[in-house]
Amino acid sequence: MKHKLRWVSLLLCLLVVDFHCSAQEAGQNGSKASNSPQKSAPIGYTSAPDADQKKTLLLKDFHPVSMLHAPVHQVDKAKFYVVDVHSHVNDAAGIDEHMPPERVVEVMNSTNVKTIVILTGMWGEKLQRVLDEMVKAYPGRFIVFSQIDWSKIDDPNFSQEMVAQLDDAVSRGARGLKVLKDLGLGVRDKTGKLITVDDPRLDPVWEECGRLGIPVSIHVTDPEAFFHPIDNTNERYEELTEHPDWGFYGPQFPTKESILAARDRVFARYPHTTFVALHMANWPENLDYVAGLLERYPNVMVEFGAREAELGRQPRRAREFFLKYQDRIMFGTDSEVTEEMYRNHFRWLETGDEYFDYWGYPGQGRWKIYGMELPDGVLEKIYHVNAERMFGQFKTASAKGAQ
């Protein structure tokens, strides 16, 4: 009997010890489980169900940093000296904020820019002030163009007045005529009729420019997107939202094609006048059209002011175009005069760098550009040879009637 009680007592002790150990082990396992990381959700291949609802970032706040590892070549000075044929620095129209002239020259000296052409010089005393401040004070560094006074469009002798105004401008020191995009889009006579680019009242002006040997730098129309609705399909949506007055879509405006056709008729009528079709003939999105224009009209030159973005995103086609028409293209910027601006353009023309910001990004559109790595001979022509050849045609106003 005693032996049985001992065995029962021993068995009970073993059961208690086993229960205690089991409890301790369970506690330890529980503690380990609570301290271990939660298992992450499996990597899937379908969109999150609330993805569209989370896409609330505004375009103006979207500044992605490229993860592309690509060579970067800094070009501090142009390989050959530069004539910038498209600028508005310290002009008479006040298009750009005025800069101290010595600061402008400092930028030019540090980037190898020899001469800047100030297109919007206006006429009369306003023109004279620009000539005095920029041309006379810095010989050889600046060239100034005159313009047409549209306030006189209804004068019976408008044509003769504009020829006389042009002659006066040239005698003062102007070396070209600039036509802004309001011709064909905004200039109207007192009846409200839109003045077309090929209006016959302008014929004597084009003729006089040819006689004087001065170029006509003409800007008509604007980027193709400006003639489309400002909606979610427009690649320049942000730019047009910023500047809604740059939108020319609707029945109240002529089409881009009709304005360019009127301009091209002027080119054809005045083969002895040199025309500079600004902004790559204002259709760099369609280089086949620009090529056709240059083939048809040997009196036409082009420049790429404010169109680096358009040309830089099509590097193979643009390079092919620059090589073929190397005698017809001039360097122009149409931008504020800074070292960084010029160096960005030099990088685009001289290097083979890939996928970098055009000057002013993302102002014209959210895309990047690629360098063209142009040959030296082509670079030199574009940088200065073509412009110098064009300005070498100048004849003084005193030669009138001698032909």
Largest Cα–Cα distance of the chain, in whole Å? 151
83, β-bridge pairs:
115
The residue type found at 302 is V
> Rounded distance, CA 86 to CA 74, Å?
23
Q: 40: pLDDT confidence band, cut at 50, 70 and 90?
A: confident
Residue 15 has pLDDT above 50, yes or no: no
What per-residue confidence (pLDDT) applies to 16? 44
Residue 128 to residues 15, 118, 160, Cα–Cα distance (Å): 113, 13, 21
Q: Comparing 112 with 44, which gets the higher pLDDT?
A: 112
Domain ranges of the chain: 77-346+376-397
The per-residue pLDDT for range 271-312, each reduced to its tens digit, is: 999 999 999 999 999 999 999 999 999 999 999 999 999 999
> Rounded distance, CA 82 to CA 75, Å?
14
Fold of 77-346+376-397: TIM Barrel (3.20.20)
Asked if 83 contacts 114 with a C-beta cutoff of 8 angstroms, the reply is yes
> Rounded distance, CA 143 to CA 119, Å?
8
The per-residue pLDDT for range 69-107, each reduced to its tens digit, is: 999 999 999 999 999 999 999 999 999 899 999 999 999
The structure tokens 């549209």 sit at 150
Determine the Cα angle at 84 with ends 79 and 89, to 5°: 130
Q: 26: pLDDT confidence band, cut at 50, 70 and 90?
A: very low
Copy the structure tokens of residue 199.
């209006």
What secondary structure letter does DSSP report for 188?
Answer: B
Closest by CA to 84, choosing from 348, 331, 385, is 331
